[in-house]
Structure 1
Amino acid sequence: MEEIKNVKRVEGEDGRMCINTEWGGFGDDGSLKDILTEFDEVVDQTSINPGVHTFEKMISGMYLGEIVRLLLVKMMEDKLLFKGQTSEALLTPGQFETKYISEIEEPDSGLENAQKILTALGLNWDLVDARVVRLVCDTISSRSAHLCAAALATLANRIRINCKLDHLKTTVGVDGTVYRKHPNFSEELQAAVCLLAPKCDITFLVSEDGSGKGAAMVTAVAQRIALQSRLLEDSDGEDEEDEDVDEEDK
């Protein structure tokens, strides 16, 4: 909920408005240029919508697997993996699925899962290769969690300051397979948010409804709370009038 006076597209100074940030498009103006890697640029250039949804392509489960694939290909070309030998599958866009990242990062079975996945991709690997691939997956998923946390903490801090609160207590609804299925993502996200927004106490709640319905629900709840507040004020005013009459009678 943003103060209307801060919303440039809306006239007026009073009241608040529910904002859908569409933060997937953050960076489309070049503001993330300094942290984009060569792999992010390839993912963008080969996508169906080049030049847009920059932030989404860095953090979304739709693209994480492809970022890992491109990184593995680069390491293979530099003869840092698989003895410099590749496979048709590894060179094929989309063949390294994002779900592989979650499977490879499983605490107990991750290394074994990595070996099975590399075999299925037609690669000749050794134990060191499998461990390096696991490290690559962890690096990409951690970056996603930390970038998401940075954006979320920024919003939480802004809400706290707008409301002039010393401490903000709120709930964040989260949707997405990466958050729900990845073994470490949710913990890394929450830890980073706590670090970046120390004056915000945030509870994370898994949601299945999607962001659009979520924004509509926030607006509906805000309107209900505002109505209840007005009714309560009116009720208090009537009580005060009654008390004045009673005093006169006495």
Structure 2
Amino acid sequence: MWQLKLAGRVITTCIRTVAALYLGVRAGIAAERSIVAFHSRASRRIFLYQYKKLLRVPKRILLQIRDEMASHARRSLQGDKSSTMPMLPAYVDRLPTGSESGTFFALDLGGTNFRVRYVALEKGKDEIDTKSVQYKISKAIMTAPVEDLFDYMASKSVPFMRRFLDPKAGRPRIGFTFSFPMEQTGIASARLLRWTKGYSCPGGVGSDPVRLLKDAFARKGMEVDVPVLANDTVAVLAAGRYYHPDCRMGVILGTGTNAAYMERTARIARAELPSGTEEMAINTEWADFLGESLPTLPEDRGLDEASFNTGLQLYEKMISGMRLGEIVRRILVTLGRRGLLWGGDVPLELLVEHRIPTSLVSRLDDGRKVADARMVLTELGLNPGGCLSRNELQTVIEVCSLVGRRAARLSAAGMLAIMNLMGIDGSDGPVPDFTIAVDGGLFEKYASFRDNVGEALREVLGEEAAKRVALRHAGDGSGDGAAMLAAIAPA
């Protein structure tokens, strides 16, 4: 009997020993996993800190960019072709006052959409009567022969315009907003310098957009007058002045970015200007700015190398709605390949260029919600099996925030450069009350972006001075402004 009791005690001891060993192994595995997770979080924080340093654009860098951009602009106005601020005269020597009357049309091409707009102006009325239609420009049209592009625009415009035409009124007057770099030779003539924003239509470079437009309308059976050819920023400036007499600058913050302002002709040495003209609208084409002060990342340089215009428009590539999502994607790929996201197993979907749209960047930055991040990343195939942890999702949100904030602060630096050029940034006296008219989806739809632009202006100008600078959204300014310029253009 005692042998059975002894055997029982031996078996019990063995079971307890095995159980202890098993629990010890499990505890060890759990501890190891905890350590790995801790180190992963720590590495992620350290790596993000490095990105924060490069993306934050402190006041010191803002001032450097402002000064370098303003210096390039002054050099360009004096004819220095080594400047990276083109500063193109727009041959618009006066702006609307709000007293204009008549009916006009505006055609607006400059990004992924083409708009046709009817605009009825009435003296003394703040509200204007408008009707418009908008069409997507397909990639096929964006790369088709230039005549096909203009035939497409005319084919969409003619039926819409016929609805509003008075047969007794003569040819319809069109303000044409053409938002590509062009060297203007008059208010209604120019030479296209190059395509941007994904366009590459053969036969376009070197051509006159107004001539192309008139010929396309003639092929569709309609004769038109095009008294104004304007860049979108010049049109936004005109629309801003129509509503706000103190408007001094027009800015685009959307698919691309640019700015325009009125310059004293005495300071423009690079063009033959009409005699008796005191002021001239300048299309800065600030997208082209390239300076040592720009805080670029390896991801910016990679994006530039992969673009169709390598080495050009780096400032715009760091700001525009066309690029922000791609910058975020490239940073996330870097984090993933370092094992800091997705456990180092980067989803194949993330390796597709432009897989992350800028709309996702703004949504996550504005909302800052982990649940939202999980949902949209899953929809895009970037969260396979729900593998991203809460900390990883927060990292994605933070990357969106950092990239969006940098873009906004770089935009503010450009505004400060133009203000410095005009002598209204406080350097030569008090900052006056004035308006900056802004159009574009980034400014309109991305709340955190708007807030960050304002924050940067306050940092440099000071709280009180910044209160005198009104950033006003000029919705449809690029279309309405062109029609308003057509109203004051010579017959």
Deviates more, 1:201-210 or 1:66-75: 201-210
Q: Which secondary structure state, in structure 2, belongs to the residue aligned with residue 19 of structure 1?
A: strand
CA distance in 1, matches of 2:443, 2:484: 21
* Contact 2:439 2:476 (C-alpha < 8 Å) held by counterparts: yes
Does the alignment pair 1:139 with 2:402? yes
Q: Which secondary structure state, in structure 2, belongs to the residue aligned with residue 62 of structure 1?
A: coil
Distance change (3 Å), C-alpha of 1:101 and 1:37: same
Segments of 5+ residues of structure 1 without an aligned counterpart are 224-250
Kindly report the root-mean-square deviation, in angstroms, between the aligned alpha carbons of the 2 structures.
Answer: 2.9
Deviates more, 1:172-181 or 1:157-166: 157-166
Deviates more, 1:199-208 or 1:69-78: 199-208
- Scaled by the length of structure 2, the TM-score of the pair is 0.41
CA distance in 1, matches of 2:424, 2:438: 23
Query: Which residue pairs with 1:207 in the alignment?
Result: 474
CA distance in 2, matches of 1:152, 1:214: 20
CA distance in 2, matches of 1:189, 1:156: 14
CA distance in 1, matches of 2:401, 2:358: 12
| Counterpart pick for 2:418 among 125, 148, 155 | 155
Task: Work out the percentage of aligned pairs sharing the same amino acid.
Answer: 31
Distance change (3 Å), C-alpha of 1:22 and 1:217: farther
Query: Which residue pairs with 1:243 in the alignment?
Result: none
- Scaled by the length of structure 1, the TM-score of the pair is 0.77
Query: Which residue pairs with 1:182 in the alignment?
Result: 446
Q: CA deviation at 1:171?
A: 0.9
Segments of 5+ residues of structure 2 without an aligned counterpart are 1-261
CA distance in 2, matches of 1:39, 1:136: 13
Q: Which secondary structure state, in structure 1, belongs to the residue aligned with residue 395 of structure 2?
A: helix
* Contact 2:289 2:314 (C-alpha < 8 Å) held by counterparts: yes
Query: Which residue pairs with 2:352 in the alignment?
Result: 92
* Structure richer in helix, relative to its length: 1
Query: Which residue pairs with 2:378 in the alignment?
Result: 119
Distance change (3 Å), C-alpha of 1:39 and 1:162: closer
Q: CA deviation at 1:81?
A: 1.2
Structure with bigger RCO (C-alpha 8 Å, 6+ apart): 2
Q: Which secondary structure state, in structure 2, belongs to the residue aligned with residue 168 of structure 1?
A: coil
Q: CA deviation at 1:54?
A: 1.4
Q: Structure 2 matches for 1:49-128, cutoff 5 A?
A: 49-107=309-367, 110-120=369-379, 121-123=381-383, 124-128=387-391
Q: CA deviation at 1:217?
A: 5.9
Larger Rg: 2
* 1:82-141 Cα shifts (integer Å, max 9, x gaps): 21111111110011111111121233x632111112223243211010000111000000
Q: CA deviation at 1:166?
A: 2.6
* 1:14-61 Cα shifts (integer Å, max 9, x gaps): 82221111111111xxx1475221111111111222222211100001
| Counterpart pick for 2:305 among 35, 45, 60 | 45
